């Protein structure tokens, strides 16, 4: 039930959804027979128009993404690593099945990064944690099969990989992996995920009882962001959507007690 509620609330807090709802209300006001309501509606409509223009040329999403990407600086990994956890994220089993090629979307770089670390630490235990099946509604193919195909594509042996296939959220990732491996206090475990997702991941694993070392696979923001960007409304809104999801996620996880603090 908690998973379904989080998806509903997350959908309602989506910036694009909020803008659409607000636009609908404003249009209704502008078409009202009441002069004051109609006048207010037209004023708000004008505000929304300029807000849309600002969203097209100002990289607000990129600005908000930087603190997430920079939350954990890329750390030097220790000489000994006992295990590596890759968190799934955008693997699409339905599209993979329909097209006959593994589709990992924005999570593809995580498998490339895994290949690098797996070769660097040949004795490390490797766990691929999570499922996207509840999101993409596959027919027959599963997230695990997509992950296995990606593992093969990057040249790793299948017998090195263990799969945790029940978790649908970062919280479930952490709880299930901790239960699965029962890590010792002195063990070194590395977690692989995208930069913007790393803060919530590390904090959640820590709360679940597993101190992990972050190893970022990809970044969504640079170190030199222009004040005004070329018009790219769709791209900026998609970035803002990702950022909003993560910030709301941090607050929600803190509220439910799944992390100790939403920010360090």
Task: Find the domain containing 165 and state its range.
Answer: 73-216
Same domain, 136 and 43: no
Same domain, 79 and 201: yes
Same domain, 38 and 103: no
Considering only residues 212 and 12, tell me which one the structure prediction assigns the higher pLDDT. 212
Same domain, 182 and 107: yes
Q: What is the dihedral of CA 240, 245, 246, 252, to 10 degrees?
A: 140
Name which of 170, 230, 160 is nearest 206 in CA terms: 170
Same domain, 120 and 176: yes
Contacts of 37 (CB under 8 A, 6+ apart): 29
Judge whether 89 lies within some domain.
Answer: yes
Do residues 114 and 88 touch, judged by C-beta distance below 8 A?
no
Same domain, 34 and 117: no
Q: What is the pTM of this model?
A: 0.87
Judge whether 86 lies within some domain.
Answer: yes
Confidence band, pLDDT 50/70/90 cuts, at residue 126: very high
Model pLDDT, residue 234:
76
- The rounded Cα 233 to chain-centroid distance in angstroms is 21
Judge whether 263 lies within some domain.
Answer: no
Confidence band, pLDDT 50/70/90 cuts, at residue 72: confident
Judge whether 125 lies within some domain.
Answer: yes
Model pLDDT, residue 1:
58
Contacts of 247 (CB under 8 A, 6+ apart): 64, 68
Considering only residues 10 and 86, tell me which one the structure prediction assigns the higher pLDDT. 86
CATH at residue 130:
3.40.50.620
Same domain, 62 and 87: no
Judge whether 150 lies within some domain.
Answer: yes
Same domain, 22 and 145: no
Same domain, 63 and 150: no
Judge whether 264 lies within some domain.
Answer: no
Same domain, 55 and 152: no
Model pLDDT, residue 227:
66
Domains in the chain, number = 2
Considering only residues 203 and 63, tell me which one the structure prediction assigns the higher pLDDT. 203
Which is it for the CA torsion 146, 148, 149, 150, positive or negative? Answer: positive
**With 70 as the cut, is the pLDDT of residue 15 above it?**
yes
Model pLDDT, residue 14:
79
Confidence band, pLDDT 50/70/90 cuts, at residue 224: confident
Model pLDDT, residue 20:
86
Same domain, 90 and 57: no
Same domain, 174 and 107: yes
Model pLDDT, residue 96:
95
Judge whether 190 lies within some domain.
Answer: yes
What average pLDDT does the structure give for the chain? 90
Rounded distance between C-alpha atoms, residue 215 and residue 77, angstroms: 8
When pLDDT is averaged across residues 6-19 and rounded to a whole number, the result is: 73
Judge whether 224 lies within some domain.
Answer: no
């Amino acid at each position: 039930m908690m998973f379904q509620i989080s998806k509903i609330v997350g959908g309602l807090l989506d910036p694009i959804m909020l803008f659409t709802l607000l636009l609908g209300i404003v249009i209704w006001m502008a078409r009202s027979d009441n002069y004051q309501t109609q006048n207010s509606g037209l004023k708000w409509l004008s505000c929304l128009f300029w807000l849309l223009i600002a969203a097209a040329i100002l990289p607000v999403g990129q600005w908000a993404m930087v603190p997430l990407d920079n939350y954990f600086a890329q750390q030097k990994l220790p000489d000994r690593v006992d295990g590596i956890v890759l968190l799934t994220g955008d693997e699409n089993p339905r599209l993979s099945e329909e097209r006959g090629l593994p589709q990992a979307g924005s999570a593809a770089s995580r498998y490339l990064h895994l290949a690098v670390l797996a070769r660097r630490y040949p004795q490390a235990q490797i766990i691929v944690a999570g499922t996207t099946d509840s999101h993409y509604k596959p027919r027959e193919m599963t997230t695990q099969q997509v992950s296995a195909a990606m593992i093969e594509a990057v040249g790793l042996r299948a017998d090195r990989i263990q799969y945790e296939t029940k978790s649908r959220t970062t919280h479930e990732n952490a709880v299930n992996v901790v239960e699965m491996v029962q890590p010792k206090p002195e063990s070194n475990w590395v977690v692989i995920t995208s930069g913007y997702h790393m803060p919530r991941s590390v904090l959640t694993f820590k709360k679940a009882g597993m101190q992990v070392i972050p190893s970022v696979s990809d970044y969504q923001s640079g170190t030199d962001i222009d004040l005004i960007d070329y018009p790219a409304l769709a791209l900026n809104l998609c970035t803002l959507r990702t950022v909003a999801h993560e910030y709301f996620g941090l607050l929600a996880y803190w509220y439910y007690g799944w992390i100790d603090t939403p920010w360090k």
